[in-house]
Amino acid sequence: MREQPTYLRVADELRRRIADHVWAEGAQLPSRAQLAKDFGVSDAIVRRAQELLISDGVLEGRAGSGTYVAERRTRARMVRAHVRTGLDEAAGGPDLGALTGPETWEGRSDVMVPAPAHIAARLGIAEGDYCVRTAYEHLLDSKPVYLSTSWEPYEITSGTLVVLPDGGPLAGAGVVRRMAEVGITVTHAVERMEPGQTDAEEAHLLGVQRGVLCTRIERTFYSDDGRAVETADIVVPAALCEIVVETPVSRRR
């Protein structure tokens, strides 16, 4: 077995000290120069080790100030439950498992947005076909916990009162109810989940640092005739929100 490079050893040591509460939550670490002297390594190595922990959400670097042990905010739980809880729809909230706790959100819609290629493919429409695009910021305790951008074919709801997800009588009621209003029955959702890192814009909206680990979810709702009626890109930073999937085990017969 090959030995680990220095910057990983330093990263592990920093992790250990934080786990052992050598530095408390929210506390400021010694400066890079000081740590480099302590560890007997160069400035750049400490920097690199800290970058790893920053993207893991363990540390937080503040320019001009210092590097701090990240405050562990009580994380929201985004539950994908396959068992009926009765909660999701009753709350008038999102159609798939709500966050635990009182959730609010802010949305901004644009109508007549031409579908880019990847969205068109997911919705089964032609590139350039018009869509209603809505960007959401989901808040818990009035702090952002995740972002989503949803796309609906304009053709489905054009001319109806529910054309705008965040307007009309069913504002914020979720895709399932709004689609029901125009005679479409939504039967299931498919979500692709993959790990990623936040870019500058996402980080700014979420109040975290650029490059922190997140889960990117591509969610698509389908109606009973197999047509995609909505698709969304969801960005869930690990530090703010945990994703839980509950699956029933089907009985053997």
Partner DNA sequence: TCGAATTTGTGCGTATGTATC
Partner DNA sequence: GGATACATACGCACAAATTCG
Q: Which residues bind DNA (CB under 7 A)?
A: 2, 5-7, 29, 31-34, 41-45, 47-48, 50, 54, 61-67, 209-210
Least Cα distance to 119 among 30, 220, 39 occurs for 220
6 binds, among its own copies, DNA, none (CB under 5 to 8 A by kind): DNA
Q: Give dist(CA 215, CA 243) in Å, integer.
A: 9
Query: Is the Cβ of residue 1 or residue 142 nearer to its own copies in the bound state?
Result: 1
With binding defined as CB under 8 A, does residue 56 bind its own copies? yes
- In the shown chain, the binding pattern of residues 94 to 133 toward its own copies, with x for contact by CB under 8 A and - for none, equals -xx-------------------------------------
Q: Give dist(CA 110, CA 135) in Å, integer.
A: 9
Q: Give dist(CA 97, CA 94) in Å, integer.
A: 7
Calculate the alpha carbon distances from 115 to 21, 121, 179, 221 in Å: 50, 9, 20, 17
> What type of residue is 192?
R
With binding defined as CB under 8 A, does residue 45 bind its own copies? no
Query: Is the Cβ of residue 137 or residue 158 nearer to its own copies in the bound state?
Result: 137
SS3 200: helix
C-alpha dihedral sign at 111, 113, 119, 122: positive
Least distance to DNA, CB of residue 60, Å: 8
Q: Give dist(CA 233, CA 97) in Å, integer.
A: 16
247 binds, among DNA, its own copies, none (CB under 5 to 8 A by kind): its own copies
Least distance to DNA, CB of residue 252, Å: 48
Residues near its own copies (CB under 8 A) are: 2, 4, 8, 52, 55-56, 80, 82-84, 88-89, 95-96, 176-177, 180, 185-197, 200, 213-215, 221, 238, 242-252
